[in-house]
Amino acid sequence: MKKAVLASCVTGAVLFTAACGAESDDGLTVEEILTQSEEAMEELSSYSMDMEMLQEMSMDDDTMDINMTSEAQVLMDPLVLYQHASMDMMGMPFSYDSYFSEEHGFFMEDPMSGEWLKLPDEFTDEMMAMADIQTSPEDQFDIFRENLEEVDVETDEEEDRYIVTIKGDGVDNEAMKEQLMGFMDGDMGQLMGDALDSMEIHSYEYEIFIDRDTFYTTEANVFMDMTMDDGVNETAMKQTTHMLFGGFNEYDDLEVPANVIENAEEISESDMMGGL
């Protein structure tokens, strides 16, 4: 199921709450609302997403904030993604564009030189595998089941939408690692595995806004409080993400520009790992 690469990640993330009996004012359960929303999003031919993310990191007496904003357009079938991202790390701003195409692969602009890079084919395989795991969202999010604190749904009559919230006090890191390692291999899989070994999520909160008429997911807020410990230093991190979805079925000709495909420099997975 390649169609819901981004939006289904939001709605699917809480489908496991089916066992919880929360209902909206019009009698729909959380399970029914989220199931209908996922089905509606899967039927889209395209959509856009604006995202703003803030990471607050602290280690000993040092603190660092990272701000990232992005604007993306997604064509579902065949899968094509364009994204413009801007970041500010410790007062040093930069921005870059990227394209992902099921047919042509993954391309990223070097924010320093402006040159285009073609990422290894493994990234294409992993991107497609990430889309395919949406076929079983309940299995995907089993890692949350034992740590739920609150699941609720509210009917916003003024905006004519549902607001689904879920809060928890941690996740099963080993289960998360097994899932991610299942669709990542090579150096990138090892890198992700090492990162997960050092990470502990203490609490999380999802807030998802769903249109009552179309059942499209239109907005989402995600908060996570976590620590990362590499054996030498422990870093505390709080991450807040706000996403807006729109442009439903408005794009029909999204593609990777020919000059990007022709001029991009191909790099290997080892080149990327060396840069990290």
Number of Cβ atoms within 10 Å of the Cβ of 247: 15
**Sheet strands (E) in the chain:** 46-59, 62-75, 80-89, 92-101, 105-109, 116-118, 148-156, 161-168, 199-211, 217-229, 234-246, 265-266
Q: 């070994």: which residue's tokens?
A: 197
Residue 1 inside a domain? The answer is: no
CA of 264: how far to CAs of 95, 128, 216, in Å?
Answer: 18, 21, 36
Q: How far apart are CA 204 and CA 141, in angstroms?
A: 13
Which regions in the chain score pLDDT beneath 70? 1-21, 125-148, 171-196, 269-276
Q: How far apart are CA 63 and CA 56, in angstroms?
A: 7
Burial class, 24, CB count within 10 angstroms (exposed 0-12 / middle 13-18 / buried 19+)? buried
Q: How far apart are CA 253 and CA 162, in angstroms?
A: 32
Return the bridge partners of 14, or none: none
Residue 69 inside a domain? The answer is: yes
The count of structural domains within the chain is 1
Q: How far apart are CA 56 and CA 59, in angstroms?
A: 10
State the greatest distance between any 2 C-alpha atoms of the chain, in Å, as a whole number.
Answer: 55
**Would you give the distance in Å from CA 24 to the centre of its chain?**
26
**Sheet strands (E) in 7-45:** none
pLDDT at residue number 133:
46
Residue 125's nearest CA partner among 196, 182, 47 is 182
Please state whether beta strands 161-168 and 148-156 pair in parallel, antiparallel, or not at all (unpaired): antiparallel
Hey, what long-range contacts does 193-196 have (CB within 8 A, 24 or more apart)?
A: 195/228
Structure letter (DSSP) for residue 23 = B
pLDDT at residue number 136:
40
Residue 109 inside a domain? The answer is: yes
Residue 156 inside a domain? The answer is: yes
> What value does the mean pLDDT of the chain take?
79
Residue 242 inside a domain? The answer is: yes
pLDDT at residue number 2:
46
DSSP 41-59: HHT-SEEEEEEEEEEEEEE
Domain residue limits at 84: 7-275
Residue 2 inside a domain? The answer is: no
Q: How far apart are CA 148 and CA 35, in angstroms?
A: 19
pLDDT at residue number 198:
76
